[in-house]
Amino acid sequence: MNEHILFNLVDLAGTFAFAISGATAARRCNLDLFGILAIAYITACGGGIARDLCIGAIPPAGLSDWRYLATAVIAAMLTIVAYPWVERLTYPVRLFDAMGLGLFSVYGAHKALVFGHNAEVAILLGIVTAVGGGMARDVLLARVSIVLEKEIYASAALAGAALAVLGEHLHWPAVWATWLPILVCFVLRFLSLRLHWNLPRFGRDRGR
């Protein structure tokens, strides 16, 4: 498969997964149709828009390419129709978040490299792409973002982006440089949910 087509599919798949995550969260908050569509789109495209603004890809693909809006709307409508089935999944929002996290961390890092930025910038923008939309969703829904809690979330995106950058610098085959980092990020996030892995958390000073 052509590398350009492969990464486009990865980006759209991440958009679809994050849109389901956003739509599910919005549906739980009893938002109306417009609210669900808006949260789905912001969750799916917010991180990518921030990334594109940082690397000078103007106008951002999330705004200029109709496929992103269409993918987010389709995912949101499917979530509305199949909401009872989606809710039966364990951790439905976080499951689709984990899928989108891996896909976007890799694509974000790849796009930064394509635009001529170094490895550090690519890794950081891979993380921004992966967590930006979810943070915007949580702010709009008035809840503490997963990124700021003790869970392994941004750390998983960091692992995926770093491995993707390493693969491209070592000239791994496109399939390995793409799907292996995606899988590592998803598995790390998924296992952290199932096995309750957390980063260190520091409580208040009891002496006060």
59 CB neighbour count, 10 Å cutoff: 11
pLDDT band at 48 (very low <50, low <70, confident <90, very high): very high
> Average of pLDDT values for 4-21?
86
Phi-psi region of 202 (alpha: psi -120 to 50; beta: other; left: phi over 0): beta
CB 91 within 8 A of CB 193: yes
Torsion of CA 152, 176, 44, 131, to 10 degrees: 30
Q: Which residues contact 185 (CB under 8 A, 6 or more apart)?
A: 98, 101, 102, 105, 106, 130, 156, 157, 159, 160
Q: Which pair of tokens denotes residue 138?
A: 């949580």
Assess whether pLDDT exceeds 70 at residue 194: yes
Average pLDDT, the chain: 87
Structure tokens given for 93:
């929002």
